Structure 1
Amino acid sequence: MKQHSYWKQVNQKVLAKSLAELCYEQALSAQQESDQSYRVRLKSGVSYQFNAVLTIWDWLLIDEETIQMHQDGEKRTADDASQFFIDAAEDLKITASTLGNLLHELSNTLAADMTLLEKREGCTADDMAKLADEQLQCFLDGHPKAMVNKGRIGWGAQEFRAYGTESAASVRFLWLAVRRELTVNGHSEHWPWQQLLEESLTAEQVQLMEEVCREKEISWQDFIPLPVHPWQWQHHICQHYALQLTRGDIVLLGEFGDEYLPQVSLRTFSNLSRPQALHVKLPLTVLNTSCYRGIPGKYMQCGPALSQWVQNLCDRDEDLSTRGTGILQEVAGLHVPHPYHEQVQGTPYRYREMLGATWRQSPASHCAAGERHLLMAALLQKDSSGKSIVATLIERSGLSVEKWLEYLFDATVVPLYHLLSRYGIGLVAHSQNLTLVLTEDRVARVLLKDFQGDLRLAQGDFPERSDIPSSALQVLDQLPPNYIIHDLFTGHFVTVLRYLSSQLMLELNFPELKFYSVLAQVLRAYQKMAVAKNPLMAERFQCFDVFRAHIERVCINRVRLSQGYDDSAERPVPIVGGDLENPLWLSEQKPENEISKINTVSPTEV
């Protein structure tokens, strides 16, 4: 019976999220019937009715337990997410093929969510907040914006249990020796390949590997060591790279080294026995959230130099250094291009991203005594009673909600906005790309990561970044400022703060408009100080105007619905919908004494 209860809960949760995101992305329309009652009418003749609060983002915060399905004059509790997508298929304009694949992703997501629900049974938000970051990530729900965020097409139940983040099962890598001339690689001068090996292998394990290398006549002067995920090896590498394996250009050395724990991103792994050791990011050719989780080869040569350059910016820039902004540097990258697919123009991108690795600094290596690190995604995680980790941290800090948020915004949003305005650097800073460093349960600073496709440059004259590595300029996207600003608007405000502000409204009765008023005050204070030090920054702030009245609505779920699941040469690109009123602009339109009265909801109302 408990399993059936769990099944209903995870279905209701995904259904509520899907309704909310599809209405937000304007793929569906919800009509308000009373103060907090809304209805989505579908062409199939079915309608879904629910209680919700319309947030400042034109996004519905839906009470999942109130969703009812109306059909043929009858109504019943809606707890079947698959049936919802079948009912809405015509409205969503999706083909039968797309719907079938979507239902596949949905089934996998629901199964993973069931595991998480069982895992969190009896675990309070306070319990979770005390866990080490690496262990806590195995409790997290994942991206809130993606309707089906654990699709993992390509995996079955056995792989979910063995390699899924929620299972918290450790994994040991297989190691290959790859002939140097076959690779595209780059590494920091401080991290030679032998030292990278020692980050994953004990001295005894290194010796055992050396013995295997001698038996197979492998010399590290001619070869480079490369870890590979055991599933990736079994299902892709040993077949797709059979030519190189039979020639001896790629040699399987065997299973070696420490045990690693998959993080919430699925393909990034932390060292279980040595938390300060480098994280390892490996390609997994499974379709998850929006794309196949490979590793593009074009960033391998420039990754270490680029992340070192950004760290140097943080060290020499007063606004960043005083805030302690840091970079989880990618110290090495290695990619093995496929000999045939690289010759085919327009071949599916997943075939070009199958074999490689990135080594990245761990957050633990950046923390001093009295500090702890926490993935920003963890703030939103709730226990079975609805209490969130962010509410727990605020409570334990002894600070007011407003003061706690001031620390958060000064440590996270200000550095992101400064990098954008001063250097024309856009970072897609979603909640899995930001690691918070806490002292006494308040946010002290932020660690930034993931520059492989999530760092872009604004076009224009930015002499402050004139020393950027030339290898990075060759591969980084450069777009007009009005596009790059969405790395902050959409990548952070919509993707992170939208959910955080609504959670604090729901749980702590903290008005959304007050939330963005605090953010506006922190950003205005930063702007004032920046212009006082450098008057030219006033022009930059006009170029990157975060206080403009309207922003574009960027939609990710509609991309999958419209593009379907056919193989493509490039990763999916988001669709732009109708404009949104900017909450920062709204927060400055109301008198201070009115802000606390707007968009407030008590925890019992939703």
Structure 2
Amino acid sequence: MTLTTETTETTETTETTETTETTETTEAGAPAGDVVPIVDDPALAEPAPGLGGSPLRFRPADPERDAGRVHRWLTHPGSHHWQMGHLAPEQVRRYLEQIAAAEDQDGWIGEEDGAALVYVETYDPSRVVLPDVHDAEPDDLGMHLLVAPAPQDVTRRRHGLTSAIMRAVVAHCWSLGAGRIVVEPDVENHAVRRKNREVGFEELREITLPDKRAMLSVLARGTRAQAAASGAVTGAEAGTEHLRPEHIAVAQRHLVAKALAEFSHEKLISPVAETDRGDVAGAPLVWRVDVPGASTYRFLARRLPLDHWVLDEESLQRLDVVHGHQRPLDAQELIVELQHVLGVPEDLLGTYLEEVAATLASAAFKDHRGGPTAAQLARGRRDLDVAGDLQHTEAAMTEGHPCFVATNGRIGFSVDDLRAYAPEAGARFRYVWLAARRAHTRLELGAGRTEAQHWECELGADGLARLHTRLHDLGLDPADYVLLPVHPWQFRHRVAVSFAPDLARRDLVVLGEGPGAWQPQQSIRTAFDVEHPERSYIKTALSIQNMGFLRGLSPAYMRATPAINEWVATQVRGDARLAELGFDVLREHAAIGYTGDAYHQADASSDQQKMLAALWRESPVARQTERGESGERLMTMAALLHRDAHGDSVAAALIETSGLAPRGWLAEYLSAYLLPVLHCLEVHELAFMPHGENIILRLRQGRVTGVFMKDIGEEVAVIGDRELDEDISRMRHVIDDDEAAQLIFTDVFGGVLRHLAGVLDVDGVLTHAAFWEVVSEVVAEQEARGEAEGVSRRRRLDLRVPRYAHSCLNRLQLRNTRQMVDLADASGSLIHAGELENPIAG
């Protein structure tokens, strides 16, 4: 709820005041002996601990009687987190009147022997404060808490009173029928967060509310947390609350189901049907996968076009082949059982198993922390701006790459690192800034921007001055150095150790944290500045093992990145057809790399040569403003394949929100996504990597109006023998028409659309047959276009071939878990498993 000087506008918090220990017995405006209506709490029939011999009783707050005391409490310095200290008594009275009149909020005064000790607000979190953030259950009850300030006379303070009040307030919430109590204290209010944990609240995740960053926390009746309220998780257990049987079981079931589905799709295993299909194509059947001498897996599944397997996760069983009894689902054991079938080399099996374990841990964390519903994500944050809404969705995702089994390996991250730097945690960090000696460092800038302009835009005058001041304080000349952002994990675990000599001789100088608050994105090396959303994304080296690669960033590769992006942006932004389709790119307009280390003096290439580099990429928020677009949302395209904890999909929710028929919604989406990708291939011989994490959708009332393509420098390719300047010639990879069409088949049809078709089919929104009919119709639109506006096609790709090569992504990772593709010969690294029938053939 909110409050300004006239109406409720400032978001309340669940704050107590840590100094609040009081024996106050009378309040001005409440004469001693006054008869007060008491709401007795049955849970407090016995004296609450720490409250002496009298129970704490709660009565509804009376605006006339209580405004004075609540005003004094709110204006106390210890209550600053309530952000209401500026209000006059009359404004507080009106505020309490609004609470009393509301259907979904209540105010309470807690009293000991008639002396008021605490003001409590309870609310319906599905309607107040958290309607777009929290997946509220019917018996959830939100709670805000304000304890009376402690008396100045320290002799009148009672040790442990605040804790006793907290327990009494929890008991009061139970008496109101709550099944779970929900609180959202400011993340910086560590005092109240301690009190919450003391009574058993579990901290789920950080959330953004209109005027604060909050820690969403819950306490469920009868849970382990409530039973252990007197001794919250501490010490070695801290940070591992998600690693409980109930959370890991959800993660295991999903990952085993995904592994069976994708390994079947890639023809690594061959399920056998136990029931007859009959005449219904795509009908669910009972299937079995036998692993000799180990396990039998039985499940209900549908087999859709492109050999896409949709498993009913709840039906999945694992049976012991010897004794026939059920065994727990275990993704690592599945990999070990299938090792020879999967072809994992002996010396790399441990690495892959470790990535699977980390993927399970990430999934368990996502299950533990909860998240918004699909409907909430489709509707969007009504209480935040476009940037806040975009980051809210970014942190809510549970499935980044739908094809890969081991997707969140992150070998190198600790449990604390997961909470600090993983996108699903939604936390913020600040980059560590180094000054790198200019003689050993290259800062490359896009056309039309000077170095001074770059730092002015990305750091601001104050931020730049602070970093330069630190150099001056060390007796160093800023002109001799170039500024370089480093991920804090990378600095602590790599730079401060592996570049110790460079730091000692001051070729690298540590300047400390820089400005901004950065939120990790689904592509984990990239972060978004939530304090300054108009500023660029920053992407840095992050030397963790993840999805078949060590996620470094090469200084040598960075040198051509701005020039490549300028060339690509010129092609795209100068194309009238792409503008009509709402297609644009986010340029990586600056890049930097340091090469003054010993690793770069060696002839042999190494991972250590990819530890210190960064790039800046245009913000979609800034690009929206430049294009003059307003009233649109931004959302990662990965959200179209996201399901919430109830199994509901964002794609289905967006279609419902749009008010369009499913075929019409899909046609608009494909016109914004598929047509531009195909157009770029045919007209400009320009190939992108168009998976879900690389696309940002523009939405208006649930309808897709356009897209931004990102991650250009490392993944774009010119597939024809076009004339290119030498400095950007590395992106030329000449292929024939069949291989060019295969890019659409593999990256778009197989990597995105087969999964979306499965989601909509299973949800009963659009049958798989109707889905591919719409795809065929949209492709026909491109086929029907002749030469447009004087621009002829360089290629005419045939997307109607009866069959095409079946490219397999998991096979790549299973073959080499440390580097699944040779970046110098990506096409030559591919593995195929026969052919797939084309769902739009003919």
With normalisation by structure 2, the TM-score equals 0.65
Q: What is the distance in 1 between the residues matched to 2:788 and 2:587?
A: 32
Q: What is the distance in 1 between the residues matched to 2:738 and 2:474?
A: 55
Q: What is the distance in 2 between the residues matched to 1:457 and 1:481?
A: 13
Q: What is the distance in 1 between the residues matched to 2:735 and 2:250?
A: 43
Q: What is the distance in 1 between the residues matched to 2:730 and 2:791?
A: 31
Q: Which amino acid aligns with 1:11?
A: Q
User: 298-307 vs 1-10, which deviates more?
Assistant: 1-10
**Paired residue for 1:66?**
315
User: 51-60 vs 243-252, which deviates more?
Assistant: 243-252
**Paired residue for 1:407?**
668
> What is the deviation of 1:469?
4.3
Q: Of residues 803, 823, 834 in structure 2, which corresponds to 1:578?
A: 834
Partner deviation per Cα, 1:428-457 (whole Å, 9 max, x = no partner): 111111111112221111111112331112
Give 3-state SS (helix, strand or coil) of 1:485's partner: helix
Give 3-state SS (helix, strand or coil) of 2:484's partner: strand
- For the pair 1:540 / 2:781, whether they are aligned, the reply is no
Give 3-state SS (helix, strand or coil) of 1:150's partner: coil
Give 3-state SS (helix, strand or coil) of 2:516's partner: coil
Q: Residues 200, 170 of structure 1: CA spacing in aligned structure 2 closer, same or farther, 3 A cutoff?
A: farther
Q: Residues 535, 305 of structure 1: CA spacing in aligned structure 2 closer, same or farther, 3 A cutoff?
A: closer
**Paired residue for 2:524?**
266
Q: Which amino acid aligns with 2:716?
A: L
- For the pair 1:450 / 2:711, whether they are aligned, the reply is yes
**Paired residue for 2:620?**
363
Q: Which amino acid aligns with 1:554?
A: S
Q: Of residues 254, 265, 270 in structure 2, which corresponds to 1:29?
A: 270
Q: Residues 38, 166 of structure 1: CA spacing in aligned structure 2 closer, same or farther, 3 A cutoff?
A: same
Q: What is the distance in 2 between the residues matched to 1:576 and 1:568?
A: 14
User: 379-388 vs 193-202, which deviates more?
Assistant: 193-202
Q: What is the distance in 2 between the residues matched to 1:346 and 1:547?
A: 46
- For the pair 1:352 / 2:352, whether they are aligned, the reply is no
Q: What is the distance in 1 between the residues matched to 2:772 and 2:541?
A: 38
User: 544-553 vs 6-15, which deviates more?
Assistant: 544-553
Q: Of residues 482, 496, 514 in structure 1, which corresponds to 2:738?
A: 482
- For the pair 1:380 / 2:629, whether they are aligned, the reply is no
> What is the deviation of 1:518?
0.8
Partner deviation per Cα, 1:241-300 (whole Å, 9 max, x = no partner): 233222222211111211100011111000011222110001100011121111133432
Q: Of residues 455, 480, 504 in structure 1, which corresponds to 2:760?
A: 504
Q: What is the distance in 2 between the residues matched to 1:568 and 1:426?
A: 17
Partner deviation per Cα, 1:533-566 (whole Å, 9 max, x = no partner): 66964x821xx22222222111121222222448
Give 3-state SS (helix, strand or coil) of 2:743's partner: helix
> What is the deviation of 1:532?
6.6
Give 3-state SS (helix, strand or coil) of 2:706's partner: strand
- For the pair 1:421 / 2:682, whether they are aligned, the reply is yes
- For the pair 1:206 / 2:464, whether they are aligned, the reply is yes
- For the pair 1:83 / 2:338, whether they are aligned, the reply is no
Q: Of residues 109, 127, 140 in structure 1, which corresponds to 2:359?
A: 109
Alignment length (residue pairs) = 576
Give 3-state SS (helix, strand or coil) of 1:145's partner: coil
**Paired residue for 2:769?**
513
Tell me how large the CA RMSD over aligned residues is.
Answer: 2.4
Partner deviation per Cα, 1:296-345 (whole Å, 9 max, x = no partner): 33432222222222222223222112122111011101112364434555
> What is the deviation of 1:19?
0.8
Q: Given that residues 67 and 77 in structure 1 are in contact (C-alpha distance below 8 angstroms), is that contact kept between their aligned partners in structure 2?
A: no
Q: Residues 336, 404 of structure 1: CA spacing in aligned structure 2 closer, same or farther, 3 A cutoff?
A: same
Q: Of residues 774, 799, 811 in structure 2, which corresponds to 1:558?
A: 811
**Paired residue for 2:306?**
57
Q: Of residues 386, 389, 395 in structure 2, which corresponds to 1:138?
A: 395
Q: What is the distance in 1 between the residues matched to 2:602 and 2:356?
A: 32
Q: What is the distance in 2 between the residues matched to 1:567 and 1:444?
A: 35
Q: What is the distance in 1 between the residues matched to 2:648 and 2:508?
A: 51
Q: Residues 251, 536 of structure 1: CA spacing in aligned structure 2 closer, same or farther, 3 A cutoff?
A: closer
Q: Of residues 586, 606, 613 in structure 2, which corresponds to 1:328?
A: 586
Give 3-state SS (helix, strand or coil) of 2:543's partner: strand
- For the pair 1:15 / 2:256, whether they are aligned, the reply is yes
Q: Residues 309, 23 of structure 1: CA spacing in aligned structure 2 closer, same or farther, 3 A cutoff?
A: same
Q: What is the distance in 1 between the residues matched to 2:637 and 2:719?
A: 26
Q: Given that residues 683 and 792 in structure 2 are in contact (C-alpha distance below 8 angstroms), is that contact kept between their aligned partners in structure 1?
A: no
Q: What is the distance in 2 between the residues matched to 1:40 and 1:366?
A: 50
Partner deviation per Cα, 1:357-391 (whole Å, 9 max, x = no partner): 11001111122211111110011111122111111
Greater helix proportion: 1
Q: What is the distance in 1 between the residues matched to 2:811 and 2:750?
A: 16
Q: Given that residues 9 and 79 in structure 1 are in contact (C-alpha distance below 8 angstroms), is that contact kept between their aligned partners in structure 2?
A: no
> What is the deviation of 1:68?
1.4
Give 3-state SS (helix, strand or coil) of 2:693's partner: coil
Q: Given that residues 373 and 435 in structure 1 are in contact (C-alpha distance below 8 angstroms), is that contact kept between their aligned partners in structure 2?
A: yes
Structure 1 gap segments, 5+ residues each:
589-606
Q: Which amino acid aligns with 2:631?
A: G
**Paired residue for 2:79?**
none
Q: Which amino acid aligns with 1:545?
A: D
> What is the deviation of 1:63?
1.0
Q: What is the distance in 2 between the residues matched to 1:33 and 1:62?
A: 15
Structure number with greater Rg is 2
**Paired residue for 2:495?**
237
Give 3-state SS (helix, strand or coil) of 2:645's partner: coil
Q: Given that residues 331 and 361 in structure 1 are in contact (C-alpha distance below 8 angstroms), is that contact kept between their aligned partners in structure 2?
A: yes
Q: Given that residues 459 and 481 in structure 1 are in contact (C-alpha distance below 8 angstroms), is that contact kept between their aligned partners in structure 2?
A: no
Give 3-state SS (helix, strand or coil) of 2:840's partner: helix
Q: What is the distance in 2 between the residues matched to 1:261 and 1:139?
A: 13
Q: Which amino acid aligns with 1:14?
A: L
> What is the deviation of 1:6?
2.1
Q: What is the distance in 2 between the residues matched to 1:326 and 1:401?
A: 25
Give 3-state SS (helix, strand or coil) of 2:348's partner: helix
Q: Which amino acid aligns with 2:806?
A: R
Give 3-state SS (helix, strand or coil) of 2:582's partner: coil
Q: Given that residues 346 and 568 in structure 1 are in contact (C-alpha distance below 8 angstroms), is that contact kept between their aligned partners in structure 2?
A: no
Give 3-state SS (helix, strand or coil) of 2:436's partner: strand
Q: Which amino acid aligns with 2:444?
A: G
Q: Which amino acid aligns with 1:392?
A: A
Q: What is the distance in 1 between the residues matched to 2:730 and 2:402?
A: 33
Q: Given that residues 553 and 577 in structure 1 are in contact (C-alpha distance below 8 angstroms), is that contact kept between their aligned partners in structure 2?
A: yes
Q: What is the distance in 1 between the residues matched to 2:300 and 2:690?
A: 31
Give 3-state SS (helix, strand or coil) of 1:435's partner: strand
Give 3-state SS (helix, strand or coil) of 1:221's partner: helix
Partner deviation per Cα, 1:66-107 (whole Å, 9 max, x = no partner): 111122141426522222122222322334443322221112
Q: Given that residues 305 and 768 in structure 2 are in contact (C-alpha distance below 8 angstroms), is that contact kept between their aligned partners in structure 1?
A: yes
- For the pair 1:437 / 2:698, whether they are aligned, the reply is yes
Q: Given that residues 551 and 581 in structure 1 are in contact (C-alpha distance below 8 angstroms), is that contact kept between their aligned partners in structure 2?
A: yes
**Paired residue for 1:156?**
414
Q: What is the distance in 1 between the residues matched to 2:790 and 2:637?
A: 31
**Paired residue for 1:390?**
651
Q: What is the distance in 2 between the residues matched to 1:470 and 1:89?
A: 45
Q: Given that residues 298 and 475 in structure 1 are in contact (C-alpha distance below 8 angstroms), is that contact kept between their aligned partners in structure 2?
A: no
Higher RCO (C-alpha under 8 Å, 6+ residues apart)? 1
Structure 2 gap segments, 5+ residues each:
1-222, 225-243, 278-284, 382-388
Q: Which amino acid aligns with 2:309?
A: L
Identity within the alignment, %: 28
